[in-house]
Chains A and B, each alone.
Chain A
Amino acid sequence: MPSIRDAGSSIPYIKELEKVALKILKENSNYKERLKEILEEYASRYSREYNIRT
Chain B
Amino acid sequence: MPADTRGNIILELENIGCLRRLRLEFKPGINIIKAPNASGKTTIVRSFSSMFSDKIPPSHILALDELKGRIRVYYGEKIYEKVFRRTPSGHVIVQGDMLPFADPRAFDACVALAETDIVHRITGGNVIFRRYLENLSYGNYYSALIEASQELVNEYGRKLASPSFRNFEILPLLLTELTDLHMRRDEIRQKIENSKKNQEDKLRKIKLKIAEKNSALSQEKVLLSQLYRDLSFEKEREKSLQELLSMAGESSKIVSSIKISIASSQDRQTRLKNEIKTRRCLLKELRRKVEDLREKLRREEKGPLEIKDLEEKLEKVNKMIILKEEEIQRAERFPSDDAEYPGKLIVDVRSEILRKIEWLEMVMGYFQEKYMRCMTSARRRFNDNVTRAFHELNLGGFENVFLDQDFSLQVMREGNIRQPIETLSASEKLTISLLLMLAAKETFLPEFPLFIVDELTLSYDPERFWRLMEYVKRRVPYLIVTSLSSSLSDTPKVIHKP
Write out, one digit per residue, whether chain B residues 318-347 have a CB within 8 A of any chain A CB (1) or not (0).
000000000000000000000000000000
Residue of B whose beta carbon sits closest to that of A38: B148
Q: Say whether B359 contacts A47, CB under 8 Å.
A: yes
Q: Say whether B145 contacts A7, CB under 8 Å.
A: no
Least Cβ distance of A54 to chain B in Å? Answer: 10
Most buried by A among B104, B147, B351, B362: B362
User: Of A7, A11, A50, which one neighbours B355 at CB under 8 angstroms?
Assistant: A50
Q: Say whether B363 contacts A39, CB under 8 Å.
A: yes
Please report which residues of chain A, range 23-38, place their CB below 8 angstroms from some CB of chain B when the two chains form the complex.
25-26, 29, 32, 35-36
Decide: A32 near B144, CB < 8 A? Known: A4-B373, A39-B152: yes
Band of interface residues on A: 20 to 34
| B233 contacts across to A, CB distance below 8 A | none
Bound CA–CA A10/B358 (angstroms): 13
User: Of B359, B360, B366, which one neighbours A8 at CB under 8 angstroms?
Assistant: B366
| A44 contacts across to B, CB distance below 8 A | 352, 356
Bound CA–CA A43/B361 (angstroms): 10
> Taking the complex as formed, is B460 at the interface, i.e. its CB lies under 8 A from any CB of chain A?
no
Q: Say whether B359 contacts A43, CB under 8 Å.
A: yes
Decide: A40 near B152, CB < 8 A? Known: A4-B370, A8-B366, A46-B355: yes
Q: Say whether B359 contacts A46, CB under 8 Å.
A: yes
Residue of B whose beta carbon sits closest to that of A45: B359
Q: Say whether B152 contacts A36, CB under 8 Å.
A: yes
Band of interface residues on B: 20 to 34
Least Cβ distance of B135 to chain A in Å? Answer: 8
Q: Say whether B363 contacts A14, CB under 8 Å.
A: yes
Bound CA–CA A44/B358 (angstroms): 11
Please report which residues of chain B, range 103-161, place their CB below 8 angstroms from some CB of chain A when the two chains form the complex.
104, 140-141, 144-145, 147-149, 151-152
Q: Say whether A11 contacts B152, CB under 8 Å.
A: no
> Taking the complex as formed, is B490 at the interface, i.e. its CB lies under 8 A from any CB of chain A?
no
Decide: A11 near B145, CB < 8 A? Known: A36-B151, A46-B356, A47-B356: no
User: Of B141, B145, B152, which one neighbours A43 at CB under 8 angstroms?
Assistant: B152
| A36 contacts across to B, CB distance below 8 A | 148, 151-152
Residue of B whose beta carbon sits closest to that of A50: B355
| A14 contacts across to B, CB distance below 8 A | 362-363, 366
Bound CA–CA A14/B360 (angstroms): 10
Closest 10 A/B residue pairs (Cβ): A43-B356, A47-B355, A46-B359, A35-B148, A25-B141, A47-B352, A11-B362, A36-B148, A43-B359, A50-B355
A-to-B contact residues, CB < 8 Å: 4, 7-8, 10-12, 14, 17, 21-22, 25-26, 29, 32, 35-36, 39-40, 42-44, 46-47, 50
A14-B366, A40-B152, A47-B356 given; 6 more Cβ-contact pairs under 8 Å: A29-B144, A32-B147, A32-B151, A35-B144, A39-B149, A50-B355
